[in-house]
Structure 1
Amino acid sequence: MRVLVIRHSTAVDPYAAATDDTRWLTEEGRRRIRRIGKVLATEAPPTRIFVSPLVRAVQTAEALAAEIGLDGPIEAAPVLAPEHGTTAQVSALLDGLGPNETVALVSHAPKVRVLAGHLAGESAIPSFRTGSVCGIEDGAFAFWIDPEGPRVIRDLSAIPR
């Protein structure tokens, strides 16, 4: 199984929204995630997307799904919300999925760092800017998509901090 841990794209500042849960993507955040979607479409197109129910994460997942032409629903996963769920609960979400699946998990910092590290057998991933993607294959780090560019990085030590 391939897992893509994705931090939502750039959202409006907290003061612009009524609550943190309702923060939406900026125009630059939408453009950035569409560019990342183009890379994912060739590198590792997800067959399923699970997403935190917060607006900025849902908008990120929707933009990715549109860009890659996902044929299927985006599935809400409250365990991916910032204050909910453990790595064990997220792992349980993945249990039972097929070995040929490529599953995207769209979530928030700092959860994405810890989750990606857990799934890749690392203590934590060193950096996770908005829009970043950590690709994990068969329980090991496989690649990183840096949102600047975007560009694919295959060496964990080369991830920008």
Structure 2
Amino acid sequence: MNRRAVLAGAGSATLAILAGCVFTDGEVEYDRGDIAVVVDGEPVDLSADRFQSENVENDSIAFHLHEDDDYWYMEGEEPVTFAEGLDLLPHFAYAQRDGDHVVTIDGTEYDGSESGTELTFLVDDEPVDPTEYEVSDGDDLRLEITTET
């Protein structure tokens, strides 16, 4: 069944449930905030269908993106860390090797241990350790990757 067709024909409460947002007593329960990923000064288009929960089979309600806005969404009883959140997004992966951050986006690996490659994780413009920082409602998340080009 085409998920988009189901979503298009659904009412607002059903739409949110099918898209991954949970309603309780008519209210949506989720945390959300802004997110940006920038590689060598160029923002990754996180509004692209391949990153959106509605358009992928391997989406996660724990941390995800939706069509029609530029927010991250987090649901569930336990918050995720910044690193876990990135790892849950389709076409993204996060790993740590010998203490260095490694992020893969659309199959391209950015390894912080490589000379000339730097990964900076920011929350509200402050650097954080993405493996320790638990995301919370309203956080402005930003990953900046620079490479020697």
Query: Where is the strand percentage greater, Structure 1 or Structure 2?
Result: 2
TM-score (ref. length: structure 2): 0.30
TM-score (ref. length: structure 1): 0.29
Q: Which has the higher contact order (CA 8 A, sep 6+)?
A: 1
Query: Where is the helix percentage greater, Structure 1 or Structure 2?
Result: 1
